[in-house]
């Protein structure tokens, strides 16, 4: 079973830090008498969030859906691409420099072109989020595959191991640590990608669209409310990756494998 207490215990420090930031924010607004249109107080931001809760929550759900689908597509494509590049050195030597060069082009620079090619809607937003995730996953999984001890591979081959069994029992476990490092890094960046996609490829809905409307109306409290929801989405996505890592790599948190994982490795 998942040890919920063990998972939630490390959250005490971040929550205390969040409360400290809110306290400093509130004191700064009161002490310097900052106008609300420049910097609203935490109370004013919270009141606006409550008054516009239905719109913000709907936008949160829309942005979360875009993030989650794009994240899955980008991570899956990046993992498959890395495995193919590892199994075919010729393909790697040709495509790897192209991948590196492609990262010099900001995603926001091609977002308008994606909208022209794919139209308004979900498709261009998914592509933007997937592009944010794709490159870190490819690079880290490739590093994991290349880190496998050559003597270990030769030993498994000498014992009659097939390419599939070598990948499943030797190479695949070596990708877990770098893969989840890439996913943690991409989790928060993907939220930014989802917002960029909503700025360029959405006609309505999403926290990105809400941010644009709030900024155009000089609604600072609305802007900070949307930022708060985006921060919540970033934290939630990061925690989901940590939970997935906890489930996939049981040996990192316990000396005894969980029942489902024992069945997986025996199967």
What digits encode the pLDDT tens for the residues 182-195?
A: 999 999 899 999 99
Residues with pLDDT less than 70, the chain:
1-11, 203-204, 252-267
The pLDDT value given to residue 99: 85
pTM given for the model: 0.85
DSSP 249: -
> Which region, left, alpha or beta, applies to residue 33 given φ > 0 means left and ψ of -120 to 50 means alpha?
left
Query: How far is the C-alpha of 220 from the C-alpha of 22, rounded, in Å?
Result: 17
User: Looking at residue 258, what is its pLDDT?
Assistant: 53
Domain borders along the chain are 59-202+231-247
Instruction: Give yes or no for a contact between 25 and 42, defined as CB atoms under 8 angstroms apart.
Output: yes
At the topology level of CATH, where does 59-202+231-247 sit?
MetI-like fold (1.10.3720)
Q: How far is 101 from 141, CA to CA, in rounded Å?
A: 19
């Amino acid at each position: 079973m998942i040890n919920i207490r063990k998972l939630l215990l490390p959250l005490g420090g971040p929550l205390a830090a969040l409360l400290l930031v809110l306290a400093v924010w509130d004191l700064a607004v009161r002490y310097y008498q900052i106008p609300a249109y420049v910097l609203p107080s935490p109370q004013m931001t919270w009141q606006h969030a409550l008054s516009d809760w239905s719109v913000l929550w709907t936008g949160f759900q829309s942005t979360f859906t875009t993030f989650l689908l794009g994240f899955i597509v980008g991570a899956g494509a990046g993992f498959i691409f890395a495995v193919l590049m590892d199994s075919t050195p010729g393909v790697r030597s040709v495509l790897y420099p192209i991948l590196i060069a492609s990262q010099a082009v900001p995603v926001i620079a091609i977002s308008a072109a994606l909208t022209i090619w794919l139209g308004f809607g979900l498709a261009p937003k998914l592509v933007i989020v997937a592009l944010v995730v794709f490159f870190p996953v490819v690079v880290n999984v490739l590093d994991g595959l290349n880190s496998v001890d050559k003597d270990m591979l030769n030993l498994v081959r000498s014992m009659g191991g097939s390419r599939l069994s070598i990948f499943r029992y030797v190479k695949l476990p070596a990708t877990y640590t770098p893969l989840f490092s890439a996913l943690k890094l991409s989790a928060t960046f993907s939220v930014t990608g989802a917002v960029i996609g909503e700025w360029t490829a959405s006609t309505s809905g999403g926290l990105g669209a809400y941010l644009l409307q709030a900024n155009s109306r000089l609604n600072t409290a609305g802007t900070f409310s949307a930022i708060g929801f985006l921060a919540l989405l970033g934290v939630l996505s990061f925690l989901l990756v940590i939970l997935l890592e906890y489930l996939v790599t049981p040996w990192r948190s316990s000396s005894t494998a969980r029942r489902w994982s024992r069945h997986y490795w025996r199967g």
